[in-house]
Chains A and B, each alone.
Chain A
């Protein structure tokens, strides 16, 4: 190779190198911007949601009512709207992160705690407890968790056939989901369909939530989300082939079980309080990957923000769209999420056949 060719080659290389650099910088900038915009949107939506409804307070009134003096309107809003807003945000964050974790563990971008039956398993057991052992009501989240574990165990073991085919997981999950949803509905009908606790779990109704429900939800969700953050590096390693991850000293099977349990915890707890929510755990991580990339160290925190935002938005739309009647947020999610899921299925080459 002569000298001229050599310099040309190195010029080419440095040009490509700087192209790569600028691509990387652009991506980083987009991710940072996405975080900022999402945080601002969430705060904005929060204050909007506080103010949407028959009672209205100005921003300064709200601040004064919360921190300085008692204002009747603000006190009412504090008791009625704040719990559902906080529950919406916590449940949204939990379900979205649960989706991210399931997708990492199952190596399947279509895995969603709603679609694969985790939420309905959790809600069925929660319904059982509410209907037959109301004295154990306080432990509902724990039983919901057991229900979620049961559903996950069913899906995992039934779709295992010398390996996990992404499509088989979805199909088995749909069947498990249908079964548990059916069982819950049957139970609801048999009990006359008017047990408010049962109905609220089945329909994902968060109208009548109080600060007690917030208290039930907070510790579990916080623990689950913190654990998710602790394991985000491991989620990245699970994107490698199992053998390769093992060669890096990662005990893949153990990690799968641990991360699955975190995901089931997050999905079940939010189901126990806010009802079964479908598609949220699918839509949020998918858009999140486009905006901040598939590095879980960014994707998981972003999904928390975005999940909180999306579910609060669904809830807020649900209670304004046909006021004074309310459409449950989970129903809004299903209506929007269904078509989204179909688009994903059609666009994805891997799962089309």
Chain B
């Protein structure tokens, strides 16, 4: 997948503000998500990153400011049109007890289906592809409830992939997982970006994982964008301090920044 240097941003946020009642969570946030890159939103608890995520995925609606998807205001897109272009893996997911992996992944085809129509060949092909890419083909007939946490997270990612979108959001995809599965999931995310050119936007808690796996990081603090850019440019002792309010050493290993989090 070639990335055009002059391409428009995949998504753009302009002057976004949001408040829960009187509590201002986002104050005039502007940012750009580059096409074909991995962008991670980071920040301390309560910095507004979840709110920003919800706004960008049409789960909240801002009165002030605009969000553009390839130049179109997402307010003017209905959920179905949006779902054809953007897929989302939410942090917390549930399913019925006896649904099999394959059926759950096939839910990803929902936005592309017309009412009262069966599976098309393309539906089957994409479901098959999504299961293959995420390495869950061998569990296809197993109930999702019988899978381990790491396997289950792959199933949710596969469902999002079956939507066949060029933009994928992930909300803290590693939260409930052991370190081994955390790395596996992030390697999978990187593969999706590398091999299929999918633009990734995610929220991560772990600073080093954010630095290591992202092309671009966006630091949020008190509802404002503190920094935005490649980790090599923007991550240093000072920016970490301003974001999290703690002094941490930053070193370099193999040309990558590394924050000593203990």
Q: When chains A and B are docked, how far (Å) is the Cα of A248 from the Cα of B138?
A: 25
Q: Does B82 contact A (CB under 8 A)?
A: yes
Asked if B138 and A240 make an inter-chain contact with CB atoms under 8 angstroms apart, the answer reads no
Residue A59 is within 8 A (CB to CB) of chain B in the complex: no
Q: Does A346 contact B (CB under 8 A)?
A: no
Report A-chain residues with C-beta under 8 Å of the C-beta of B107: 236-237, 240, 248
Residues of chain B within 8 A of A27, CB atoms compared: 98
A239: nearest residue on chain B (CB-CB)?
Answer: B96
Q: How many A-B residue pairs have CB under 8 A?
A: 76
Report the separation of the CA atoms of residues A241 and B107 in the bound assembly, to the nearest whole angstrom: 13
* A21 at interface, CB cutoff 8 A: yes
A244 to B160 Cα, complex, angstroms? 10
Whether, in the assembled complex, A230 has its beta carbon less than 8 Å from a beta carbon of chain B, the answer is yes
Q: Which of B57, B81, B99, B110 contacts A250 (CB 8 A)?
A: B110
Within 8 A of B (CB), among A194-230: 230
Q: Is A64 part of the contact surface with B, judged by Cβ < 8 Å?
A: no
| 8 Å CB contact of A251 from B79, B96, B108 | B79
**What mask results when residues 55 to 93 of chain B are scored 1 for a CB within 8 Å of chain A, else 0?**
001110000000000000000001111111001101011
| B83 and A249 contact, CB distance less than 8 A | yes
| Residues in chain A near residue B163, CB distance under 8 A | 248
Binds B, one of A12-20, A152-160, A258-266: A12-20
Contact status of A249 and B99, CB under 8 A, knowing A13-B138, A21-B141: no
Interface size class, chain A:
20 to 34
Partner of B103, one of A243, A246, A251, A295: A295
B214 to chain A, nearest CB (A): 22
Q: Is A56 an interface residue (CB 8 A)?
A: no
B83 — nearest CB in chain A belongs to which residue? A249
Q: Which residues of chain A have C-beta atoms less than 8 A from B181's C-beta?
A: none
Contact B110 A249 (CB under 8 A): yes
B138 in contact with A250 (CB, 8 Å): no
A239→B71 CA distance, assembly (Å): 34
Q: Closest Cβ of chain A: how far from B154's Cβ, in Å?
A: 15
Q: Are A244 and B93 in contact, with the CB atoms below 8 A? A: yes
Q: Is the interface of A mostly helix, strand, loop or mixed?
A: helix
Q: Considering only CB atoms, which chain A residue lies closest to B84 in the complex?
A: A249
Contact of B94 among A241, A246, A249, A294 (CB under 8 A): A241
| Interface: A65 (CB within 8 A) | no
Answer whether A243 and B84 are a contact pair too, CB < 8 Å, given A20-B139, A295-B99. no
Residues A239 and B83 in contact in the complex (CB < 8 Å), given A246-B59, A248-B163: no
Given contact pairs A230-B116, A241-B90, A294-B96, A249 touches B141 in the complex (Cβ within 8 A): no
Residues of B within 8 A of A20 (CB): 139-142
Chain B 21-60 near chain A by CB (<8 Å), digits 1 or 0: 0000000000000000000000000000000000001110
A296 nearest in chain B by CB position: B96
The answer, yes or no, to whether B95 is at the interface (CB within 8 Å) is: yes
Alpha-carbon distance A230/B111, docked complex (angstroms): 17
Q: Could you give 9 example pairs across A and B, Cβ below 8 Å? A: A17-B138, A20-B139, A20-B140, A21-B141, A27-B98, A239-B95, A244-B156, A249-B81, A251-B78
- Told that A20-B140, A20-B142, A295-B103 touch, could you supply 16 new A-B pairs with CB distance under 8 A? A13-B138, A23-B141, A24-B100, A237-B107, A239-B94, A239-B96, A241-B92, A243-B59, A243-B88, A244-B90, A247-B83, A248-B111, A249-B111, A251-B78, A294-B99, A295-B98
What 9 pairs between A and B have smallest CB-CB spacing? Answer: A249-B83, A249-B80, A249-B111, A247-B88, A20-B141, A248-B110, A239-B96, A24-B141, A294-B96
Interface residues of A (CB under 8 A from B): 13-14, 16-17, 20-21, 23-24, 27, 230, 236-237, 239-241, 243-244, 246-251, 289, 293-295
